[in-house]
Amino acid sequence: MLAARLFHRHQSGPWLVWLHGLLGDSTEWLPIINQLKDYPSLALDLPGHGQSVNISCTGFAPVSSLINATLAQYQIEDYYLIGYSLGGRLAMYHACYSRPSGLKGLIIEGGNVGLTDLSEKRQRSINDHYWAERFRHQTFSQVLDDWYRQAVFSQLNDQQRQQLIALRSHNNPQAIADMLEATSLAHQPFMADKLQRIDCPLLYLCGEHDQKFRRLAQQYALPMDLIPEAGHNAHQASPNAFADAIHQFLSHCG
């Protein structure tokens, strides 16, 4: 099972289960979880991250199995799944392919639904291998600096970038590289069609300035809510607005 942190565990009702992005861990959700105290929460450390650093995986299906095992360990039967970036992609896979009977709703923040073009998949595989090799063999802080200069993080200023680098520097670069390749977008099935037919409530959250993922949500007609004054990492940039959006979604789900 995956390492996990439990919050507000004595509250009744469905649980909120949180999946972080690449280089993150369960603690990054704390500012949001602390504003949703009416719900019990389980924040997971994905393989190769946080207290799950020594857990490895070979792809999406094994991670989904680990999520199921962890939920069973904590006897969680009814839950909402919330995932950011890589965590969002894993959450979508879990919802679309594991057919979990207890899933009450799905909240995705900046998660890619997958690629259909084979040349795009090949290019993504090459790109992810490039970054994985850099994580394995180069100075971690320098690779992190370059990582957070990618176009998707263009809204970060220098201070925000340095804060993220400091926050992520505790990671094991070898484990990050392995997870990056195992869960590459090149290996992910295309899921937009399945999401459009999913039989539980779905919310796609996106930073106002995250143009790439705004276009993606619009392209596939996913039910989207914009987080003001935020880029790709909206829950970190605007935790109050992010928590409000989740609260509204949950209240409409009943």
> For the segment 212-231, what is each residue's pLDDT rounded down to a tens digit?
999 999 999 999 999 999 98
- pLDDT mean over 33-62: 96
What the block records as the tokens of 129 is 């291998």
What mean pLDDT value characterizes the chain? 95
Residue 207 contacts by C-beta under 8 Å, 6 or more apart in sequence? 110, 155, 213, 226, 227, 230, 231, 232, 233, 234, 237, 238
Per-residue pLDDT, 99: 75
Per-residue pLDDT, 7: 97
Threshold 0.85, pTM exceeds: yes
> For the segment 91-116, what is each residue's pLDDT rounded down to a tens digit?
999 999 987 889 999 999 999 999 99
Q: Do 76 and 50 contact (CB within 8 A), yes or no?
A: no
Structural domains of the chain, ranges and CATH numbers in brackets: 4-115+189-253 (3.40.50.1820)
Per-residue pLDDT, 214: 95
Please give the torsion angle defined by the CA atoms of residues 69, 74, 75 and 80, in that order, rounded to the nearest 10 degrees. Answer: -80
Per-residue pLDDT, 76: 96
Q: How many Å apart are CA 137 and CA 143, to the nearest integer?
A: 10
> Per-residue confidence at 254, pLDDT binned at 50, 70, 90?
low
Q: Which of 52-66, 147-161, 190-204 is predicted with the least confidence, judged by mean pLDDT?
A: 147-161
Burial class (CB in 10 A: 0-12, 13-18, 19+), 159: exposed
Per-residue pLDDT, 86: 97
Percent of the chain scored above 90 by pLDDT?
A: 91
- pLDDT mean over 138-151: 95
Per-residue pLDDT, 155: 85
> For the segment 35-49, what is each residue's pLDDT rounded down to a tens digit?
999 999 999 999 999
Per-residue pLDDT, 15: 98
